Chains A and B, each alone.
Chain A
Amino acid sequence: QFHLVESGGGVVQPGGSLRLSCAASGFTFNNFAMHWVRQAPGKGLEWVADMTSDGTTKYYAESVEGRFTISRDNTKNTLYLQMNSLRPEDTAVYYCAKHDSGGVWGGWFDPWGQGTLVTVSS
C-alpha cells in the first residue's frame, strides 16, 4: 500500500523560510517522480513543483519559481520542499503526491499524502 506522510509545516513570518518533508513507503521511491501541490484555505488546488525519479529534472509553478526548491533523497525515501522568501499568499496545506512513472511528462497524481499546513503571518 503506497503511503506518503508530510511534515514540517507551521507558522512563519513573511520573508521567512521553511522546509517540508514527505516520507514515502510501500513502493520503490526511486522509480517514481514526485509532486508538491498546495491548497489555500477554502480554495482550490494549485500545482507547485515536480521532480523526476532521479532528481535531474525539476519544474516549478511561476508563482514559486526562484523562491522554492524541490529535492529528494532516494536513500531516505523522502521528498523535500525548501520554501524561502515566504509570502502571506503561500499560506496553504501542502500535499506531496506520487507520479505514475519516473518522468514528469504526462501522467497523474496517485496517491496523495494527508498534507501539512503552512501559515505565513506576522
Chain B
Amino acid sequence: QSALTQPPSASGSPGQSVTISCAGTSSDVGAYKYVSWYQQHPGTAPKLLIREFSQRPSGIPDRFSGSKSGNTASLTVSGLQADDEADYYCVSYAGSRWVFGGGTKLTVL
C-alpha cells in the first residue's frame, strides 16, 4: 500500500491561511470517509486535529478545517500562529489497513 501524497513543506506568515493537500486513491481517500489529520510538534506525540475529513474534536480551534474533493483531502490552517509551526500528517482507512501521508512541515515565517 503506497503512502498518501503530501507536500513536504508549506509556509505562511502570521495571520495568513495555508492549505495542505493529501492525495490518495479510490482505494483509500476516495473510498471511505475516515481521513483524519494530526499535528506533531518536535519530540511529542501526534495530536488529532480533524476526523472524518472535516469534523473537529472538542478543544480544536475552528482555525483548523478539513475538506475532501475526489481522492484528495485537504487541511486548511487559518489565522496562522507561531505555535502552528509543526509537522502535519493525514491518514486514511484503506480496508483492514491504514495509510499515512508522508507528512508536511509547516513553517510560520
Residue ranges of A at the interface with B (Cβ–Cβ < 8 Å): 35, 37, 44-47, 50, 59, 61-62, 95, 100, 104-115
Contacts and interface: CB of A to CB of B under 8 A. Distances in A.
A59 B38 CA distance: 22
Smallest CB-CB A-B distances: 9 pairs: A47-B98, A110-B48, A106-B34, A108-B36, A112-B45, A44-B103, A108-B51, A45-B100, A44-B102
Interface in B79-109: 89, 91, 93, 96-103
Interface string B60-72: 0000000000000
B46 A59 contact: no
B1 A45 contact: no
A113 B34 contact: no
Contacts of A104: 96
6 contacts: A44-B100, A47-B91, A95-B46, A108-B51, A109-B46, A112-B46
Given A110-B48, A111-B48, A62 B1 contact: yes
Contact of A47 (B38, B47, B57, B97): B97
Q: Which of A37, A45, A113 has the most CB of B within 10 A?
A: A45
Contacts of B3: 44
Contacts, number: 59
A45 B89 contact: yes
A63 B96 CA distance: 15
Contacts of B101: 44
Contact of B103 (A45, A95, A107): A45
